[in-house]
Chain A
Amino acid sequence: MRTPRLSFLLLTSLLAGSLGIARASRETPSPSTPQRQLHIQVEIPSASLRTYVDSAYDVVYGRCVGTGFDATATPWPCTVYRFEALRNSRGIVLGPIDVRVVGGANADIAVRCAKSPTLEIGQEYVLFLTENPDNPSYGILGLKDGTYRVNDEGQVSGLHAGQGEPVDRFLTRVSSIMIDTKETKEAK
């Protein structure tokens, strides 16, 4: 069934929107709308688990215990997660750390990044960390691609996790790759 009249009405609205003149009478933002919005487009090619392991500063298993928003971070505001690292694979990072991920919002600015993961307080994760040389905190390698959620049954889900793979097995795979890389380098 065709509805040409409805089409015309809706199309008119759509076209006006495409021209940037849409709904002028409604363009007054609500008082609580941030005056500035920042849209971060990040291109992250997928890569093998080996590449992630080799590139990670450390791989940690732990729990998100807090979150906040750092509007003053440069070059872009970040969400800062307080993460309790319970285990690690490279032996570097342990205990409470700050993990910074671009994105978040306050009353002045909203920063959106489609690739940024959202960590939930109380939820366990395996994170592939990258070091921030200018800040005593860490980032997540590959953002969502370096974030593995651990469910209540101890199974990880993420880019390179097998279906229903127990977290111990996944971390063992990570460690095995680390050992293999180290032995390869030493052999050279």
Chain B
Amino acid sequence: MRSLFTSGILLLGITASAALAGDLERACNGAGTMFIEHWPGSAPSPLLTPVFYTDPLGTAAPTFGPGLPDITCGSTGTVATSAGLQSLVNAANAWSNLTSPSAPGTVISTFSIDLSQVVNGPGHNISAPAGTAANMLPTQISPSDMINMVTLWEPASTFAAAGGPMALAITAVTTTSTAVITDADVMVNCFAQQSPGVFMYSFVENNAQLGGWVATDANYQAQTGAMTTPSTGVIDLQGTLTHELGHLAGLGHSLVDSATFPFGSLSPTMFPLATGSGQFAQTVFLGQTICLPGQPLSTGFLDSGNTASLALFGETASTLELDDVLALARGYPTAALMDPTNAAHGSISGVVLDGTGAAITSAHVVAFEASDPNGKRVSTFSYNGGYVFYGLPPGNWYVEVEPVDITGYFSGLSTPSFVTPFGPSPVGLRSCVTPINFVPEFWNVGDAATEGPAEADPITIAPYTPQNPGANTATADVFVDIFSPAPLQACLGSATGAGCTGPLSSRGVLVRQLSRVLGPNNFQVQVNGGTSYAGALCYLSIDLNQAAIALNAPWLSASPQLQVLPVAVPGQPLPLVVSGVCNAAGVATFQFPFILGQQGYNVFLQGVLLSVSGGQVGNGMLTNSVNLLIQGP
């Protein structure tokens, strides 16, 4: 037998893929042509086939999901008696025939999910296939059988090479070489065990007949009372399925986070899960944050309506956010979505260019509305520099562009999967585009590469009227500043060596900044200059002027409880500069106390802009601006 192994990494170099997020996935062929991953047809409606299994624990009746049996063999039931099928139907409906968030009733997406094989008629009677459903279907997931299966009872071997019991769910999408989807299968790892008899996840479902949330215990029996043995997390099945069906439609993971806080209930459904605290979505602490400096996310960031169910993994993922809706609609648009005479919504488009006018592909472009930046926040990626947002509700929108970077994640969190485009690809694959690192930048009037990255102007999208026909469309071209390979010059602290001549605000090589709220009035800043700065003296400087901008921001003045007083201790000014030696990885960590202006609020501010500096003594400095979140008590 010919050996499977080679003496070197298998590098075929014949295909390329880019897993771009917040958008339909994109894929490239070897010639550099990029394709949009999509189902064929102008109104795709992939048929989804739930697979029923005999309970692996021995229950006689076939079941789709954990908890109560769905169907007594040979009989019919209703969705109402099946929590698992309720979850699936709700998840499928969430993505089908999306309507405009600002114009209910206006369909903006042609995509739908067909569940007709399972749900019949207006009464949603379930028809079990002859015999048992499992007998009618392939016994194993196959990426090429053209049957789009949804399974919840996969054996452990299915997940063995894909994370084992840690894998919560998998969606496998098969495409042609031009990214046309031909098959998609969804597998939820309900049966994952941490150790024999100890299940990795406990699943919850909302079953009206049982009066609300139903959890499964260690034996996968339904429990309406206290949940038992949630080992790693309590998982909302509907939220998980909604997320996975987004992948089935072709969507990647979104980069649009709610905030650097695990309770980001308004994070898009397609935001990647990342935390062990049981949340579906959590911010990954990218150095390139996406909020306007000085701007809080919103007072409604913490969805108080879901506070009681924060432990429900993915609950809020069961409802789509604006980013999810518009991302799918961009891929499967109706005429109404792009109709420039539609009074309910508008569009912003433009290009992302460097200082020489060269187009930047795969820049992450984020738009958010000033009055509700948390709830109205959408993203896409540039292609040949171009980008477009359709379906934007009227309002004042900011546009920011940022590079996608592979290493700017907080070490305490799961590695974000969305960094793949610019990260090491699996063997045999390579990235579709060459990563270009640049200073995150907002669009502003007279945008150029040379002005400060935080200079931003809102773009007004007003309802279309015949008298003002262009009010709902805008163009916003953004010029960005490419990071230079060598540190630019700035002085700070004791760095007084040759070349240290510039001001603090000079742009330079990216210094990744990561922050973590340690508790009330405390947070931590981590400067990561990379191994180039191993052993160097790393600085953190506080830019009080920028902090003042935050305090003076109109959205803050309207919400005095969000004010932050940048003082270390009462009556003492915040230290302007602190320094520490970067470790071998080029990382230095600093902690700061902050006093919030008012107690008793769950306050999350993204906008106290600090300057993070790092560099070698006597060899110049480099600076970079960052945003921080500060949690109230």
Contacts and interface: CB of A to CB of B under 8 A. Distances in A.
Contact of B157 (A29, A55, A134): A134
A34 B33 contact: no
Contacts of B252: 41
B171 interface: yes
Given A42-B417, A76-B161, A139-B161, A18 B24 contact: yes
Given A47-B232, A112-B17, A22 B36 contact: yes
B218 to A, nearest CB: 15
A67 B414 contact: no
Interface string A25-49: 0110110111111111111111110
A95 interface: no
B243 interface: yes
Interface in A99-128: 100-107, 110-116, 118, 120-121
Q: Range of interface residues on chain B?
A: 35 or more
A179 interface: no
B6 A68 contact: yes
A18 B163 contact: no
Contact of B6 (A4, A17, A66, A153): A66
Nearest to A48: B276
Given A7-B475, A39-B25, A133-B157, A13 B383 contact: yes
B165 A141 contact: yes
Nearest to B329: A18
Interface in B240-271: 240, 243-244, 247, 252-253
Given A22-B36, A46-B274, A102-B162, A40 B170 contact: yes
Interface string A134-162: 11000111111110000001010101000
A155 B171 CA distance: 35
B385 A105 contact: no
B414 A164 contact: no
Nearest to A157: B585
A44 B176 contact: no
A36 B276 contact: no
Interface residues of A, number: 93
Given A22-B35, A33-B29, A75-B142, A7 B350 contact: yes
A14 B415 contact: no
Interface in B14-38: 14-15, 17, 19, 24-25, 27, 29-31, 33-38
A105 B276 contact: no
B27 A37 contact: yes
A169 interface: no
Interface stretch (B54-62, B420-428, B601-609): B420-428
Nearest to A2: B477
Interface in B384-413: 384-388, 411-413
A79 interface: yes
Contacts of A103: 426-429
A139 B426 contact: no
A142 B160 contact: no
B31 A30 contact: yes
A162 to B, nearest CB: 9
Nearest to B21: A114
A45 B414 contact: yes
Given A22-B35, A68-B5, A159 B415 contact: yes
A30 B14 CA distance: 9
B173 A38 contact: yes
B388 A110 contact: no
Given A6-B351, A32-B14, A79-B426, A102 B161 contact: yes
A155 B534 CA distance: 14
Given A10-B359, A68-B6, A139 B160 contact: yes
A103 to B, nearest CB: 3
Contacts of A102: 161-162
B433 to A, nearest CB: 14
Contact of A14 (B174, B175, B275, B383): B383
B314 to A, nearest CB: 9
A42 B415 contact: no
Contact of B12 (A3, A4, A107, A141): A107
A19 interface: yes
Contact of B447 (A1, A114, A153): A1
A184 interface: no
A110 B428 contact: yes
A104 B333 contact: no
A175 B428 CA distance: 35
A55 B160 contact: no
24 contacts: A6-B385, A7-B350, A10-B384, A10-B385, A11-B388, A15-B388, A27-B33, A37-B17, A37-B175, A37-B176, A39-B175, A40-B173, A41-B172, A43-B240, A75-B142, A76-B161, A103-B428, A120-B9, A130-B164, A133-B155, A133-B160, A145-B415, A153-B584, A164-B585
Given A18-B330, A51-B231, 12 more contacts: A2-B475, A6-B477, A11-B349, A20-B180, A32-B14, A37-B17, A41-B171, A42-B417, A46-B276, A118-B427, A143-B166, A143-B167
